[in-house]
Structure 1
């Protein structure tokens, strides 16, 4: 047996071992999912290596990869697609071509990507937006925001809010034929954090006359205070979004500081004087029993006060929608929240469901037992999965029934 054959056998054995240990029978189309996840992890390792060598930042490498995937704003027989640049930020509009005497619904979409490498012009967002606009006879508008590592919080919040204020004006909605009583704010992952923060701000802002009828949050990241929840423990090395990548995103969203990243990894980044905020994210009281699974809520080790002085965003409700007080939450509109079992951010969404319901908000919660973070991305070839299409169907169906 030659060396090539030996290498092939070893490679196949390692691949089979990885498949067996990482991808259980709970996942559909496991081989396809394995290849996707492995490819993402390889790209992350390459980005880390380039950063360590001083050739480019982790995020700059991913930005380059994203640019190769950008979809141009091409209209089709069902939807008119146009781009606009507003204050150096891309805004993309998908407008249904259906002829109707009624005003259209509007979906305002904030994309995911950890405020680091996403854009509304990526293929899966393009597929979703076209489908939603055509199926719902709607206007779907997605706004980008400036990214890390060049820009940090609150830049992303400000970009999103500036766009939202300009869009939620009677003259703007009239321009696109939108019914002002049928507006939904939607986002996935970090974009769901933006969507939740935007909804909280808009509902309490008297200067914005038009309020959303609904919000929809897809596997949202809603807090940075506790990085040791059960979902963090269970999915530390999980599919698509391992803990190391999430912590890197969250820490660099606030600023470039390795000590902050290390403190967040060990869950020792909140000073004692901010311990009163932990009640808003206390999973021992807010998480449904079936998700605790014997996990023990341990006593917190507090961090240095200098952390919050240097990075105040770490306790800012604009970056942590779960920190909003009860009076703010009581104003929130009809809400849809989707969570996935195999997702490090699962418990963020579950706790928000509890807190909103405790404050009298009507919430429809969809939990996907076989789901994982990033499932919504899996709707364009060659990365499409049956699961991704089912999730899209569930989201569009809910919006159709409730908006």
Structure 2
């Protein structure tokens, strides 16, 4: 009995040690976030072990686990849900059917997050999100199920999102779904926000696309890979659920780069001052100029005098605006639609979104930048049971409300 009790105490202590991580006092529901993070870290460890043993790519383990709650296209009440393909790209379409026959609806192309490697339009959290959007906005939501790394790499994910968007924006397709061509938007979260921003830029500047997006709504988007030492990367590098090293690993997978590049990228050696190829892009990620003082705090720029030339030579896509929309020219940004940018304080990507909002404003684009001081990366997809966070519900309410007022 005493041995069993002692073992139980030891197990409980080890579990508490594994689960507990120091978190900022202002983060929403910290203990719940610790538990969520412990589960995710465990999956990452299993994936790394499987990768080390040569059994499978670690990304496949992560994706298998996060997509266990995949749901079928179940229609209910005034909502019709169908799986189809747009331009050869798999999509799930949510059609609100509650209006008068032939009544024009709003439309949204939604692109899910997951580091260009995880997730699905069929995941429970995204299915519930798009259902709620469709009903509350009385809209048609097209959720894009783009292909993922490591099976495909950049620019395939971008191409899939663009192809599905261009297909939906055709006048005859919009008419088939009774969508008003003047009330269509594009949106996405995290890596999906990256794809949504890049697609919005291309659609805005492509004269062959007759219908344009009215709005772009970006949820904690990832927008650049030149500076992994912005204030938010420094401040939140160890804050779940998106650690700085994991974000760099996602970039390396997306761009099909050598995994060893994580080390020079952690200290910005890939964009050191002696690399002239970076010069045209430096001002576009100059957080000392683009961020508000409250975000900069006391952080110092990390800009090595000399660095690792090989990274940019082997991964030129780091400077491609299709991969990093923050690097787009001002003239391109000026043609994009009204924007909503949501950022969270406890997120390595906070400054990506804030810098993009500032650059859009400087280009003359109306922008609403909404910041959640207690938010963390991914919180909006945790607005639903069983991973319900209060800040997730608030971000979702704010996001849908903005779409309702501006689309």
Q: CA deviation at 1:262?
A: 2.4
What RMSD over aligned residues (CA atoms) do the two structures have, in Å? Answer: 1.8
Q: Structure 1's 302 and 206: CA in aligned 2 closer, same or farther, altered over 3 A?
A: farther
Note if 1:274 corresponds to 2:278: yes
Change (3 A) 1:313 1:302: farther
- 1:50 equivalent to 2:54? Answer no
- Conserved in 2, the CA contact under 8 Å of 1:94 and 1:129? yes
Structure 1 residues 225 and 12: alpha-carbon distance in aligned structure 2, compared to 1, 3 A threshold: same
Name the CA shift for 1:66/1:21 in 2 (closer, same or farther; >3 Å): closer
> Which position in structure 1 is the counterpart of 2:162?
161
In the aligned structure 1, how far is the partner of 2:395 from the partner of 2:381? 10
Report the secondary structure of 1:22's partner residue: coil
Q: What are structure 2's unaligned runs of at least 5 residues?
A: none
- Which residue of 2 is the match for residue 315 of structure 1? 319
Offset, 1:244: 1.5
Q: 1:396 aligns with which of 388, 400, 403?
A: 400
Question: Is the contact between residue 272 and residue 302 of structure 1 (CA under 8 Å) also seen in structure 2?
Answer: no
Provide the C-alpha distance between the structure 1 equivalents of 2:62 and 2:20, rounded to a whole number of angstroms: 29
- What SS does the aligned partner of 2:269 have? coil
What SS does the corresponding residue of 1:151 show, helix, strand or coil?
A: coil
Identify the residue that residue 204 of structure 1 maps to in structure 2: 205
Q: Say which SS state the counterpart of residue 127 (structure 2) adopts.
A: helix
Structure 1 unaligned segments of length 5 or more: list them.
Answer: none
Runs of 4+ residues deviating >6 angstroms = none
Contact 1:50 1:56 in 2 (8 A): yes
2:133 equivalent in structure 1: 132
SS in 1 for 2:216: strand
Query: Which aligned pairs between 1:68-147 and structure 2 lie closer than 5 A?
Result: 68-86=68-86, 89-100=89-100, 102-147=103-148
Q: Is residue 114–residue 190 contact of structure 2 (8 Å, CA) maintained in 1?
A: yes
| Secondary structure in 2 matching 1:142 | strand
Given the alignment, which residue of 328, 336, 345 partners 1:341?
345
TM-score by length of structure 2 reads 0.94
Q: Distance in 2 between matches of 1:19 and 1:392?
A: 27
- Give the Å deviation of 1:317: 0.4
| Secondary structure in 2 matching 1:112 | coil
CA displacement at 1:378 relative to structure 2: 0.8
Structure 1 residue 122: Cα displacement: 0.7
Change (3 A) 1:124 1:83: same
State the partner residue of 1:365: 369
Q: Following TM superposition, by how much is the alpha carbon of 1:114 offset from its aligned partner in structure 2, in angstroms?
A: 0.5
- For residues 288 and 230 of structure 1, the distance between their equivalents in structure 2, rounded to whole angstroms, comes to 11
- Please point out which of 381, 389, 407 is paired with 1:385: 389
Show CA shifts across 1:248-306 (max 9, x none): 00111111412322222222113333233111001111111111111112333454443
Measured after TM superposition, the shift of residue 358 of structure 1 is: 1.1
Task: Give the match's secondary structure for 1:95.
Answer: strand
Distance 1:299 1:305 in 2: 14
Q: d(CA) in 2 for partners of 1:154 and 1:344?
A: 24
User: Counterpart of 2:39?
Assistant: 39
SS in 1 for 2:233: helix
> Could you tell me how far apart the structure 2 residues matched to 1:297 and 1:24 are?
23
Map of 1:230 onto structure 2: 231
